[in-house]
A and B are shown apart, each in its own frame.
Chain A
């Protein structure tokens, strides 16, 4: 049987024969992830299950990135729980302190996830690794506790929506815009229980980082995974990250898709998702002129080095509006260092930005940039739910890094070309 990418990867991790969507299969997992919010619950479940060791100490990843550096006593206690568990289990990949980065930027960078893997994480944006050709999906803590103990989990084989992206991205348009455009079209439940599989010239042209930006937001369309074939670029990225045996993987010709969605990026404008759902998407010009109080550039969606470069290109020799907090959070220590050595930090500081440590921080309204009632933010993050970044009376608009940076300078949402 010709397999979609999702079916193919699942098949490689199970002894059962995959016959098609709807089937429930038990699969071996390549890696299991949890963070400072979700790990304590997973650990609790793990212990209640009577487990006394993790299935593989090199393949359990514990990343304390959400409320760190710990914002209060309660979050410090949670991190302590995770730290003690990691030490007791001998977990190799425990990240805290100066080594920590936003989990979904950190794991790919360290080569811990790669093509053909199945990765489950107690975090909904685990789907990011689909950009590398991994079947990666978020689950709750109890599922993750069980996966940490058993090294396997069950999946319902998802039907796949094929997304064909053609054309060439214009200036100021990139991966984020392709994804926002898709979510705007199919809706926040458009891929509910389904896999998204991306292909087409515009996808081949994207960097692996750009593909991860798209895969990251599969969940914002309700999707189980957002998958990309692993090509030469993927292998290059994987090898650089330290994975020597990475292999290409692609869907079989003639695989069955539930439907195909076509996107043409020729002439596409930068896209903005308006409050309070990620599918409320408009071209940037339709939101232009709305005053902002905060701009956030970072997160697992757009906190990687190419996002930093994109923001810096706009901010160079310009000043952030004095009524705007422009918060920049490079997603990992490595990215932070690259910003430093490439001179981007100087650009950010000269422009009057606030540069923070690698953390999730304001993305989930955790800390380091919370909105008051009536405040409005533009962010390169992935969710604009009501109250996501603070007060229930605040608003979050989602965009790519160029638009966020340009808006920080203008003090209002603006097309970067119109600065």
Chain B
């Protein structure tokens, strides 16, 4: 999959309370959660986001609680991909289960700046700065996670298994 959009840079250890504060956890509606995406980081953060924009994060993105409302709120905000230096593990599972694509970039994450127009190629593991043509390489989506994505997320994966 290829996604082109504006990079929104956030820092290290962005936790699930920053992504979606607990007071909003009384719904499972993606649009509603999307309207409050990142409001624990900054009120109104989401107002600058357009459909298909991309979060570019530091280390340990999504740490904290197991709330799946976090990836749902990111997807609800119109963001299909997050690239980060690294991800917290529960968030990592949740992302793929919900269809949010996550790419681990490592230290090269610092080559990507806020507001840049970028294209992410999740199969090749490439992130291109469209203004300069510079490419940042990263590992593509691992085969096991790709399998879950290909099945259409964990729900579909389990449905097939149950239907046996």
Which residues does chain B contribute within 8 Å of A141, judged by CB atoms? 66, 68
Contact A124-B162, Cβ < 8 Å, known A142-B153, A385-B18: no
The reply to whether the CB of A74 lies closer than 8 angstroms to some CB of chain B is yes
CB of B60 within 8 A of CB of A188, answer yes
CB of B63 within 8 A of CB of A222, answer yes
The reply to whether the CB of A64 lies closer than 8 angstroms to some CB of chain B is no
The reply to whether the CB of A38 lies closer than 8 angstroms to some CB of chain B is yes
B57-84 interface mask toward A, CB cutoff 8 Å, 1 = contact, 0 = none? Answer: 0011001111111010000000000000
**Which listed residue (B60, B94, B159) contacts A143, Cβ 8 A?**
B94
Q: Which residue of A lies closest to B92 (CB)?
A: A193
CB of A140 within 8 A of CB of B63, answer no
**Which listed residue (B86, B90, B154) contacts A45, Cβ 8 A?**
B154
A67 to B23: give the CA distance in the assembly, Å.
10
CB of B155 within 8 A of CB of A139, answer no
Which residues does chain B contribute within 8 Å of A189, judged by CB atoms? 13, 59-60, 63, 86, 88
Which residues does chain A contribute within 8 Å of B111, judged by CB atoms? none
Interface residues on B, range: 35 or more
Which residues does chain B contribute within 8 Å of A67, judged by CB atoms? 26
CB of B66 within 8 A of CB of A123, answer yes
Which residues does chain B contribute within 8 Å of A44, judged by CB atoms? 28
**Which listed residue (A50, A122, A124, A188) contacts B163, Cβ 8 A?**
A50
Comparing A5-13, A93-101, A286-294, A386-394, the segment that makes contact with chain B is A386-394
Report A224 CB to chain B, min CB distance, Å.
6
CB of A78 within 8 A of CB of B26, answer yes
Contact A142-B13, Cβ < 8 Å, known A41-B28, A189-B60, A222-B63: no
Report A123 CB to chain B, min CB distance, Å.
6
A143 to B98: give the CA distance in the assembly, Å.
10
**Which listed residue (A38, A142, A277, A388) contacts B97, Cβ 8 A?**
A142
Which residues does chain A contribute within 8 Å of B60, judged by CB atoms? 188-189, 192, 222
A24 to B18: give the CA distance in the assembly, Å.
30
CB of B144 within 8 A of CB of A38, answer no
A371-386 interface mask toward B, CB cutoff 8 Å, 1 = contact, 0 = none? Answer: 0000000000001011
The reply to whether the CB of B17 lies closer than 8 angstroms to some CB of chain A is yes
A392 to B71: give the CA distance in the assembly, Å.
21
The reply to whether the CB of B25 lies closer than 8 angstroms to some CB of chain A is yes
The reply to whether the CB of B93 lies closer than 8 angstroms to some CB of chain A is yes
Which residues does chain A contribute within 8 Å of B69, judged by CB atoms? 41
The reply to whether the CB of A138 lies closer than 8 angstroms to some CB of chain B is yes
Q: Identify which of residues 132-156 in chain B touch chain A, using a CB-to-CB cut-off of 8 Å.
A: 144, 153-155
Contact A48-B22, Cβ < 8 Å, known A146-B154, A387-B17: no
CB of B26 within 8 A of CB of A140, answer no
CB of B68 within 8 A of CB of A124, answer no
The reply to whether the CB of B21 lies closer than 8 angstroms to some CB of chain A is yes
The reply to whether the CB of B89 lies closer than 8 angstroms to some CB of chain A is yes
Report B37 CB to chain A, min CB distance, Å.
15
**Which listed residue (B23, B66, B98) contacts A122, Cβ 8 A?**
B66
A390 to B43: give the CA distance in the assembly, Å.
14
Report A358 CB to chain B, min CB distance, Å.
18
CB of B158 within 8 A of CB of A138, answer no
The reply to whether the CB of A54 lies closer than 8 angstroms to some CB of chain B is no
Contact A385-B64, Cβ < 8 Å, known A138-B90, A142-B97: yes
A61-77 interface mask toward B, CB cutoff 8 Å, 1 = contact, 0 = none? Answer: 00000010000101101
CB of B17 within 8 A of CB of A41, answer no
A86 to B19: give the CA distance in the assembly, Å.
30
CB of A149 within 8 A of CB of B158, answer yes
Residue from B21, B59, B89 with most neighbouring chain A CB atoms (10 Å): B89
**Which listed residue (A150, A365, A387) contacts B158, Cβ 8 A?**
A150
CB of A139 within 8 A of CB of B26, answer no
Can you identify 29 A-B contacts, CB atoms within 8 angstroms?
A45-B154, A48-B155, A49-B162, A51-B158, A67-B26, A77-B26, A122-B68, A124-B65, A124-B66, A124-B90, A126-B66, A138-B90, A140-B67, A140-B71, A140-B90, A140-B97, A140-B98, A141-B66, A142-B153, A146-B157, A150-B158, A150-B161, A150-B162, A154-B144, A192-B60, A222-B89, A277-B13, A385-B15, A385-B64
Which residues of chain A have a CB within 8 Å of any CB of chain B?
Answer: 24, 37-38, 40-41, 44-45, 48-51, 67, 72, 74-75, 77-78, 121-124, 126, 138-143, 145-146, 149-150, 154, 188-189, 192-193, 219, 222, 224, 277, 364-366, 383, 385-388, 392
Given contacts A219-B90, A365-B22, 12 further A-B contacts (CB under 8 A): A51-B162, A74-B26, A140-B68, A146-B158, A188-B60, A189-B13, A192-B88, A222-B88, A277-B13, A365-B23, A385-B40, A386-B40
The 3 closest A-B pairs by CB, nearest first: A74-B26, A140-B94, A140-B68
